[in-house]
């Protein structure tokens, strides 16, 4: 089966400069996603989509391929991961790549393991007409949250549920921002990512919050280091 892993890694991170090349346990951040994808042995090729020569050189050094540079349009702050993946698929098809399934793995998915990729791929094989999206449960019911106005006054997010016990709420999940599987034809069919959710075309792959860490700040990076060490100790 022709599975392709796409790792989108642009250079223009605003909150952490050169985020994708920040060192994480003596290796650039991007190394970890490439390593995990290659070790899973699920992919015919691991492709890095980037607009940066330095990222490209590191990616090739670690075993990924960079067959082209990302367009200017998809290198901006407003470009979505989904649009980057679609651009990558279209360019690969132009180069006569044979593609069945695409897994988008973010360069910040440093806590994702090979077994996450294998289990989520199994889910795709059972639901081939869907997208598989890594999700994570909110630790506290968002229905019990507060809204804050411009005067810092608090109002209830959901007044009807004020006195509900926590255990009476249905679990609510959010996009873990880690991995996304789908048939390449479905990526091209649903170019507006919102339609995937609106048309019930997604299946959630539940991930533990201890195995997930979005990285937008230095504090996030430090938390990822802590989780990495904890998970490594558990797996030892």
Which among 234, 235, 5 has a CA at the least distance from the CA of 120?
Answer: 5
Identify the pLDDT of residue 162: 65
CB 55 within 8 A of CB 11: yes
Q: Which residues pair with 132 in a beta bridge?
A: 181, 203
**Ramachandran quadrant class, 26 (left: phi over 0; alpha: psi -120 to 50; beta: rest):** left
The helix or strand, by DSSP H or E, that contains position 221, with its residue range, turns out to be helix 218-235
Q: pTM to 2 decimals?
A: 0.92
Residues in CB range of 34: below 8 A, 6 or more apart: 7, 46, 48, 59, 62, 63, 64
Identify the pLDDT of residue 235: 65
Identify the pLDDT of residue 40: 98
DSSP per position, 18-61: TGGGSEETTEEHHHHHHHHHHHHT--SEEEEE-S-HHHHHHHHH
pLDDT tens for the chain, residues 1 to 236: 899 999 999 987 777 888 999 999 999 999 999 999 999 999 999 999 999 999 999 999 999 999 999 999 999 888 999 999 999 999 999 999 999 999 999 999 999 999 999 999 999 999 999 999 999 999 888 888 889 999 999 988 887 766 677 778 889 999 999 999 999 999 999 998 888 887 889 999 999 999 999 999 999 999 999 999 988 877 65
**Can you tell me which residue has the tokens 């077994």?**
115
CB 211 within 8 A of CB 112: yes
Identify the pLDDT of residue 129: 93
Domains and CATH numbers, the chain: 3-235 (3.90.550.10)
């Amino acid at each position: 089966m022709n599975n392709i892993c796409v790792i989108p890694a642009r250079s223009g991170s605003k909150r952490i400069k050169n985020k994708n090349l920040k060192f994480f346990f003596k290796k650039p951040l991007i190394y970890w996603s490439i390593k995990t994808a290659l070790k899973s042995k699920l992919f015919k090729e691991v492709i890095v989509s980037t607009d940066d020569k330095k990222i490209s050189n590191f990616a090739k050094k670690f075993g990924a391929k960079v067959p082209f540079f990302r367009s200017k349009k998809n290198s901006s702050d407003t470009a979505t991961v989904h649009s980057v993946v679609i651009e990558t698929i279209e360019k690969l098809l132009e180069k006569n790549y044979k593609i069945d399934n695409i897994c988008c793995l973010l360069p910040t998915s440093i806590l994702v393991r090979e077994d996450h990729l294998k289990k989520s791929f199994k889910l795709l094989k059972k639901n081939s007409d869907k997208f598989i999206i890594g999700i994570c449960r909110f630790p506290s019911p968002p229905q019990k949250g507060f809204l804050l106005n411009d005067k810092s006054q608090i109002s209830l997010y959901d007044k009807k549920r004020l006195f509900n016990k926590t255990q009476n709420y249905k679990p609510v999940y959010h996009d873990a921002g880690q991995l996304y599987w789908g048939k390449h034809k479905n990526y091209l069919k649903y170019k507006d990512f919102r339609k995937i959710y609106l048309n019930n075309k997604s299946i959630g792959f539940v991930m533990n919050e201890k195995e997930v860490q979005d990285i937008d700040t230095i504090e996030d990076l430090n938390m990822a280091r802590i989780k990495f060490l904890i998970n490594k100790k558990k797996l030892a």
